[in-house]
Structure 1
């Protein structure tokens, strides 16, 4: 329902993932009445790990979620890069209490489903938010009119429409047409393993990155240290399925990382036969526009990011905070201008993250002699540690409120 003149704004958010739920909560805390439309009959995304860095925990804590998230998270001591075969340390940047002191907020490793559950519970407790689960969108105006038509024929209207519906965004396609992806030549494996199955494997309490020729492997603890999440990326051209819930053969995973360091081999050998997933990695250029009229995009719907900086979910969380700040106190006549401001504030940062993630895909997979030079540069402190400052100090809560922004 659209608001009456002088009343608080109403918003439709399409998508009940991390970005959509964070946006709903942030908008509601700014006084908007929000309806979230999600096609899944129940929330709780496919299990996987997430790295939630200080730029994102700053936003989540501001929404009152510190206690709930802290109870479910794992706090890594550092991020470490190592050689694929010998395991020699190439680079190490401290996290843990060092990160909290430096950036003001902690670095968490989380199970995605845990984060979604915390956000869902917060939304359910918020009287300004209505969750509409099991609802499929069949029509969305391309002119930026903030309305939707569901499969039931019901029409929903509001003052602002937010497409937070992911890589295959229906809202994005309605507003700007289809966005053609490019296959990167990389295929990613992922899985979760009970930590007690990896005793003696030297799984350190860090975000571990192993770099090899044409491949890399990442692992870290989630759910308070009871599970180990892994992601392995290899250069291959024989798998083009983009869905990250597609099953793969564990024997193929073991073959892809044969000859790697014993810690990596222990992880892939322990991967469950029935819970190994792989997906092809596609890249998309930054969109020149996110908004039209009273409709805009958020998260993967407008800036899908390769998983090589661990910032995909964090960027969606930042988006939510900036969008809410831009819409705070506005009337329905102000919405198009507010959305243009939101887009102008966010596009340069998210485009930079997209470019940095693409660059890391090349850096992590270098072969000798280029990998030797990379190791020297990273070992001199010009790698991960130097990148963290601009990433983690970013204050999305302040970005949308600066009068000169």
Structure 2
């Protein structure tokens, strides 16, 4: 089969790699004019790392992370700690651009912005902004949150969360762990992505979402963190300029497949980043799709798990941001006594045998 994959992000490139391993002829179509140099960080949990390693992807540039700590916003008290070294595959953090480069094996045609999708029963014709067309046996939409392919499957508008995430990379030689500072209405995340480099993510409320990524300075964000622990304020102050994006999600209820057109990753089920599973679930989508004996069965194999991940991520919208009070104290007590294996259902490496 000749398969067109719209989008050269992590989901699209993993799909192309996995399908190529199964003998498909894949072409990746990307609207950007050239590869982006993305030095910001990404977390790849063991469930996704195992899938990538199973495809032969080299991840020797990644940082193995031993734990995740949840800390209180004002005094830095450790509220809970997850042992991430308990799995047979490590929990990895890295630069996003390094991962996409490691995944790029199938041909990628840059400067190809898809605007129309027509499934005529015998194949799928994609139309592009330059007026050209191309025909494929099947098309996979991996074109993210504002997917052009989604309209051919099941039109749906992502839902704005009321939050924006601002990201930057700082020079730092911190410990090999993910740290999440939880506070009223906002939170802050740090983790290493290379020797001497720390990824910083600052999540704050915003009445209106920016319609495209914007640049903000740390001093604009600091007023959101009045009274927070000095360590958090120092990180934001040292960040200089950060890239800010709105956070959206979409309940996994609309169809992901129609005829010869399929959606994966954020095109099918955008997830809030509060448990760092957006890229991981796109990777799981990719390897599941590639090993389906019948591509039409892909959605049935993935829907229940994606819904569980979506609901846990959506809960973080409230649980991460509780104001001080009785509910916050109940949350903190639950974090302190959490079962060490509470995340095993999510992180344990999975089997991707055909049809399973």
| TM range, smaller chain | over 0.9
Give per-residue Cα distances to partners, 1:343-366, cap 9 Å, x unaligned: 100111112111110101211111
> How far did residue 378 of structure 1 move?
0.7
Does residue 227 (structure 1) correspond to residue 193 (structure 2)? The answer is: no
1:4-403 equivalences in 2 (<5 Å) = 9-44=1-36, 46-66=38-58, 69-70=59-60, 72-95=61-84, 98-99=85-86, 103-120=87-104, 123=105, 129-141=106-118, 145-177=123-155, 179-195=156-172, 203-223=174-194, 225-237=195-207, 239-243=208-212, 245-272=213-240, 275-327=241-293, 338-367=294-323, 368-382=325-339, 385-398=340-353, 400-402=354-356
Q: Which has the higher helix share?
A: 1
TM-score (normalised: structure 1): 0.83
**Structure 1 residue runs of 4 or more that deviate by more than 6 Å after TM superposition:** none
How many Å separate the matches in 2 of 1:230 and 1:242?
22
How many Å separate the matches in 2 of 1:226 and 1:134?
34
> How far did residue 138 of structure 1 move?
2.8
Q: Which has the higher strand share?
A: 2
How many Å separate the matches in 2 of 1:159 and 1:221?
42
> How far did residue 276 of structure 1 move?
1.0
How many Å separate the matches in 2 of 1:308 and 1:298?
20
Give per-residue Cα distances to partners, 1:315-359, cap 9 Å, x unaligned: 0000000000015xxxxxxxxxx2321110011111211111010
Identify unmatched segments of 5+ residues in structure 1: 1-8, 124-128, 197-202, 328-337
Tell me the matched-pair count: 354
Identify unmatched segments of 5+ residues in structure 2: none
On the 8 A contact 1:321/1:396 being kept in 2, the answer is no
Cα 1:392–1:86, aligned 2, differ >3 Å: closer, same or farther? same
Local SS of the residue matching 2:236: helix
Name the Cα RMSD after superposition: 1.8
Cα 1:313–1:396, aligned 2, differ >3 Å: closer, same or farther? farther
On the 8 A contact 1:44/1:117 being kept in 2, the answer is no
Local SS of the residue matching 2:308: helix
Cα 1:358–1:212, aligned 2, differ >3 Å: closer, same or farther? same
On the 8 A contact 2:140/2:262 being kept in 1, the answer is yes
Local SS of the residue matching 1:176: coil
TM-score (normalised: structure 2): 0.94
On the 8 A contact 2:119/2:259 being kept in 1, the answer is no
